[in-house]
Amino acid sequence: MLKIEKKIKKELIKTVAKSFKIKLSLEDIVLKFPPNIALGDFCFETFEIAKKIGRTAQETAKILSQNLKLDILDKVEAMGPYVNFKVKNNILFKEILGKIVKKGLAEKTKQKEKIMIEYLSPNTNKPLHLGHLRNGALGSALVEIFKASGNKVISANLINDRGVHICKSMLSWLKWGGGETPETAKMKGDHFVGKWYVKYGLEEEKKPTLKDEVQEMLKKWEAEDKEVRELWQKMNAWVYKGFKETYQKFGLKFDVFFYESKTYKLGKDIVEKGLKKGVFQKEANGQAVAQLPQSKFGLNKDGKPNKKVLLRADGTSVYTTQDLGTAVEKFKKYKLDKSIYVVGSEQDYHFKCLFEILSQLSFDFAEKCYHLSYGMVYLPEGKMKSREGKVVDGDGLIAEMEEMAKEEIKKRDLKNKLSLKELNERACKIALGAIKFYLLIANAPTDLHFDPKQSLSFEGKTGPYCLYSYARAKSVLRKANIKTKATIQAKQTNFSLLKEREALALARGLLEIKIALKDAQAELNPSKLTQAVYNLALLFNQFYQALPVINKKNPNLTQARLKLVEAVSVALKQGLNLLGLETLDEM
Ligand code: ARG
């Protein structure tokens, strides 16, 4: 909380006590922003107090505005049910700008938590697709957002490295691969294995009994058959090499990796114990199941309560088996306060079941698990589908976007000043920034159409627009240092000179982005921060267009405006970095 806010709240408490004999605490009071900056910097809604004292909100606001006096305020005014507060410009700017330049956007939390954020978590049968990029953008942004307020964050990646789908690509390669390798095929390893997975799908359509061979292979795998295990290791190693390249390119870092091939065993033990204790049931055909309470899961189409399979009839384990093991492993090994799973919305039901089953097993950590769910990503052509081979391949998309970014940069580089190295670096940052920003500004739960061209535009709610705004702020600061040799000292700056609507709106944009960062964390919603970054960039451009920053005849005004631009540059940079975008000083 800003000092200004605290002072206003304290004074409100005093005034309410004096005027209405009601005791309030700091937490009771919520200050909001008036819809129009001309009305003031903060406002307070009086409905609740009015109810308590049996007056109208209008009367209450009026009385409060007449009785409240505070030296940091220029004006206190009642407007309908609201009390509006206008803070003295000098004080407002000094505190906001000072705080942001010195401490950045985040407020450090008093209660530091240990949080695991699991994201990406691919299967080892195919390359990463556009949906994974949305996952990666969300997951890595969330990691940075939680870290910014001082939490201990562990980023985790669960690799689903075993199971039916993996056996499919293995069987396919064994049958039709003819000894080909990623090297001989000159393909990235994950793409190479993906090719055989797609081939399997096509063959299975012609010959459905292939499924039995896959199941046979899975049984052998679980029985640790030497040949099957060797094949599995070889093919997974190809995939990991490919994944690693993509992680590096897209800026994804992981502190720990979990492997289903390890945690599924722990999962099996947990299921066995649950069966013994009578928490789970073994059905006539031999499969182990958990019953799902009707109150939360309704009834199935036969009018019976739902259940979740935990082990197949042949004893092999399923997706849920490994997730039980993985969840226990996470809490046991890392003593977490929170465990967050970033996984697509098609698995909402799976996670609802998983958390339910964990609590049936009386694990108290069941309540500390959260699922950050996100929607599908479509390209204009339609849905991504791996089995049909029509995936929107992540690597391919990044490469294509880089090419498009290069063209755009070249168009702007009229004097051909950029070296090839600079061109490539810029294109990379702009392309990745465009993808990430586009994927992050949308609300996570909603499905989304990714429009490559629009995402790269320098206009509108895009990464390049925000990156460009940052570069513009930096350029203003650079020029100022050369032209005016201004040493930007907050203490000697006369902020009361910043009176214009555009300057005030920009100050509010700075306040809003601080709040957005807090909300993004509390609601597991990076979109909040992304919106605020865009908004700040927009307000900065409006300010820049309306008010010349450098004014040789008025060095004091120049200094105050420069200080504002400096804070904006700090806020934009930090905001963009938290979202995984790398800034450019020149664009
Ligand atoms: N590998 C899974 C998939 O691609 C996602 C895993 C998510 N994490 C988990 N703990 N279940 O669908």
CA 284 to ligand 1 center in whole angstroms: 30
Q: Which is the closest atom of ligand 1 to the Cα of 258?
A: 10
Looking at domain 394-578, its CATH superfamily turns out to be Isoleucyl-tRNA Synthetase; Domain 1 (1.10.730.10)
Q: How confident is the model at residue 110 (pLDDT cuts 50, 70, 90)?
A: confident
For the domain made up of 3-87, give the CATH fold: Gyrase A; domain 2 (3.30.1360)
Query: What confidence score (pLDDT) does residue 292 get?
Result: 97
| Ligand 1 center from residue 489 Cα (angstroms) | 51
Asked if the model's pLDDT at residue 226 lies above 70, the reply is: yes
Q: What is the pLDDT of residue 379?
A: 81
555 in helix, strand or coil? helix
Please state the pTM of the whole predicted model. Answer: 0.93
Calculate the average pLDDT of the chain.
94
Q: How far apart are alpha carbons 433 and 451 in whole angstroms?
A: 14
- Give the pLDDT band of residue 387 (cuts 50, 70, 90): very low
Is the CB of 323 within 6 Å of ligand 1? yes
**Residue 126 Cα to chain centre, angstroms:** 24
Domain layout of the chain by residue ranges = 3-87, 119-383, 394-578
> If one looks up domain 119-383 in CATH, what number appears?
3.40.50.620
First to last CA, the chain: 35
Pocket lining: 123 vs ligand 1, CB cutoff 6 Å: yes
Q: What is the pLDDT of residue 80?
A: 96
- Which residues lie across from 326 on neighbouring strands? none
pLDDT for 388 beyond 50: no
User: Would you say residue 389 has pLDDT above 70?
Assistant: no
The residue with tokens 């970095």 is: 577
**Residue 473 in this model has a pLDDT that exceeds 80:** yes
Question: 3-class secondary structure for 75-139?
Answer: EEEEECCEEEEEECHHHHHHHHHHHHHHHCCCCCCCCCCEEEEECCCCECCCCCEHHHHHHHHHH
Going from the Cα of 260 to the center of ligand 1, the distance in angstroms, rounded, reads 10
Whole-angstrom distance, CA of residue 360 vs CA of residue 582: 45
Amino acid at 486: A
In the predicted model, is pLDDT for residue 313 greater than 60? yes
Atom 11 in ligand 1: residue holding the nearest Cα: 323
The DSSP result for 520-531, as a single string, is HHHTT-HHHHHH
Cβ–ligand 1 distance for 524 under 6 Å, the answer no
DSSP state of 37: G
Q: What is the mean pLDDT of the segment spanning 258-266?
A: 96
Half-sphere exposure at residue 43, Cβ-oriented, CA atoms within 13 angstroms: 20
CB of residue 149 inside a 6 A radius of ligand 1: no
Mutate which of 116, 121, 243 for ligand 1 pocket (most atoms within 8 A of beta carbon): 121
CA separation (Å) from 150 to 139, 331, 434? Answer: 17, 20, 28
Per-residue confidence (pLDDT) for residue 552, from 0 to 100: 86
Backbone angles phi, psi at 335, to 5 degrees: 45, 65
Q: What is the mean pLDDT of residues 323-337?
A: 98
Neighbour order of strands in the sheet with 256-259: 256-259, 152-159, 114-118, 338-344, 369-374
* Centroid of ligand 1 to alpha carbon of 442 (angstroms): 22
**Banded pLDDT at 412 (limits 50, 70, 90):** confident
Residue 482's pLDDT is 62
* 371 within 8 A of 358, measured Cβ to Cβ: no
pLDDT of residue 483: 57
Closest ligand 1 atom to the C-alpha of 351?
11
The pick from 128, 155, 160, 162 for probing ligand 1's pocket by mutation, whose C-beta has the most ligand atoms within 8 angstroms, reads 160
Instruction: Write down the residue that tokens 């705080």 correspond to.
Output: 99
Distance, CA 580 to ligand 1 centroid (Å)? 22
